[in-house]
Copies of this chain bind each other. A is one copy, B any other.
Amino acid sequence: MRATLIYGAGDIRVENVPDPRIHRPTDAVVRVLRSCICGSDLWPYGSREATEHGDRIGHEFLGIVEELGSDVSGLKRGDLVVAPFVWSDNTCDFCAEGLQTSCRHGGFWASQDVDGGQGEAVRVPQAQGTLVKLPVAEDSALLPSLLTLSDVFCTGHHCAVTAGVGPRTTVTVVGDGAVGLSAVLAARRLGAERIILMGRHKGRTDLGRDFGATDVVAERGEEGIERVRELTGGDGTHTVLECVGTLPALHMSVGAVRAGGTISRVGAPQYPEVPFGFPEFASNLTLTGGMAPARAYIEELLPDVLEGRIEPGRVFDRTVDMDGVPEGYRAMADREALKVLVEP
């Protein structure tokens, strides 16, 4: 089969690799119907050192169960399933608490001998715990939105949930990438009273308005903070959803949050330390968020997608086949594309 490999910064190749097979009785093999490129894939794409052997990449996919290990129950060949971006047994104590990203028997896609998601098929470890059956057909128009349950929409939802967004909450979302827009949609779904989206790309912030943003702030840095403060009577918002992962984004978050408020971050941090000293202590600020346990949220979010109440798949603005994956990376890195869908 064909799969995507990364050989270094800017060097994405699609190559023939061995077909996945069942290694353990808890495995399944899934033929990929849809995959996609994640903002977090752009970090290695931007900076990874060149290697002679490529590494698999990709961690979001949905597809059809082709084979099942003997220990997997609850699934059958032909089921259409989505995989969260971390695989897990879904039974250990961490999973029971809804923290499948810390599963005692889980792990990451495209790591060690586990396949990446940007390929024609994937061996799925801990298949029974990992995969969630989707009651749609292979040609469903809902596939893009259902694919967002693998990562991007669940990540935005995790950000809003850990921040404590609810009715009467005011929210600032930092970042107009696919995660930021997903966070807007999630905050809206949770009933947020006001959602200020900080972003500079009109096409994206327009989609943010469609998703529920009540205000858009295009300014950045101190100017951006000042603008959010102006919009909130000087106070800032109860919550800030930090969907970028850089230090400037975190600085803006600290500047835009109200005393007693919460900053939740879901952009993978590209910094070792955060500015959270005496002033933030005196204001009783909370810093939370983290790697989203998507698996914990899929069942809860699924009905809203199936019944069309939300359409998170609108973050995809380009579709490529396997040959188009390298170009998809380039387009996302150059901000030509918001999020690229892969149809192998």
Contact = CB atoms under 8 A, between A and B. Distances in A.
Interface of A: 94, 97, 99, 101-102, 162, 259-260, 265, 268-269, 271-278, 280-291, 293
A275 B142 CA distance: 41
A326 B339 CA distance: 65
A269 B277 contact: yes
Nearest to A290: B284
Given A259-B94, A276-B274, A276-B276, A281 B286 contact: no
A281 B265 contact: yes
A290 B278 CA distance: 9
Copy number of this protein in the oligomer?
2
17 contacts: A94-B260, A99-B260, A99-B284, A265-B281, A268-B278, A271-B277, A272-B278, A273-B275, A276-B276, A276-B287, A280-B290, A281-B289, A281-B290, A281-B291, A283-B290, A286-B286, A287-B288
Contacts of A283: 102, 290
A285 B278 contact: no
B277 A274 contact: yes
Contacts of A97: 260
7 pairs of A and B residues whose beta carbons are closest in the complex: A284-B290, A102-B259, A272-B277, A286-B288, A273-B273, A99-B260, A287-B287
B291 A260 contact: no
B277 A284 contact: no
Nearest to A245: B281
Contacts of A287: 276, 286-288
A48 to B, nearest CB: 15
Given A162-B284, A273-B273, 4 more contacts: A269-B276, A269-B281, A274-B276, A281-B291
Given A259-B99, A260-B94, A285 B290 contact: yes
A269 B273 contact: no
B278 A269 contact: yes
Contact of A281 (B260, B268, B281): B268
A287 B275 CA distance: 12
Contacts of A275: 272-273
A319 B282 CA distance: 30
A101 B284 contact: yes
A159 to B, nearest CB: 12
A101 B162 CA distance: 24
